Amino acid sequence: MSFEIFDNLRTTDDALEIEKELLLLKESAYKQKGEGFLEVLQTRVKKSTCDFILSFLSNKFDDSDFIASKIEEIISKLKSIPVIIIKIGFEPSHSQITKISDFLCKTVGRKVLIDLFFDPQIISGAEIIKDGKYYDGTTNKKFYDSLLAQTKTVPREGDFLIGRLK
């Protein structure tokens, strides 16, 4: 089964928003013999979520247990999407987030979510954590390594720009 509801997810914040909607729908499945579910579906979730759920449930709205299990299946699939943590030195626009996400999905070969952090002390580049492995691709790290190689001594805390460059 294709989960096209995930196609426009880029960040963990996007995923949390969808998860909240799904949990609200799951809870509503048992209210008013399913009528609460239809009301929530039509009034309290985004249209894209509503359209997906309508298609996914194949109009079987009278069985609360079926609805809840199907929504749980979607949530489980959502939680199985790998997360890549990225720390960058600027606040990216929506289009930049989309480009980063598309690049990572293409590179990894599957759908991934970005957990994005802003750190104004990063000069350029990014710190990335994927599958528990840390990669420092910032110029801060390169500058620190270069300074270390030139001086042959470990810079001390408080030295010019060094406090944050480790």
The residue written with tokens 């420092």 in the block is 136
Q: Hey, what are 151's tokens?
A: 């001086």
Q: Which of 120, 128, 117, 125 is nearest to 144 (CA)?
A: 125
The amino acid at residue 48 is: S
- The pTM (predicted TM-score) of the whole model is 0.78
* Per-residue pLDDT tens listing for the chain (166 residues): 568 889 999 999 999 999 999 999 999 988 766 677 888 888 999 999 999 998 888 878 788 899 999 999 999 999 999 999 999 999 999 999 999 999 999 999 999 999 999 998 888 889 999 999 998 888 777 776 776 777 666 555 555 544 444 4
| CA separation for the pair 157, 143 (Å, rounded) | 15
Give CA angle at 31 (28, 33), nearest 5°.
Answer: 120
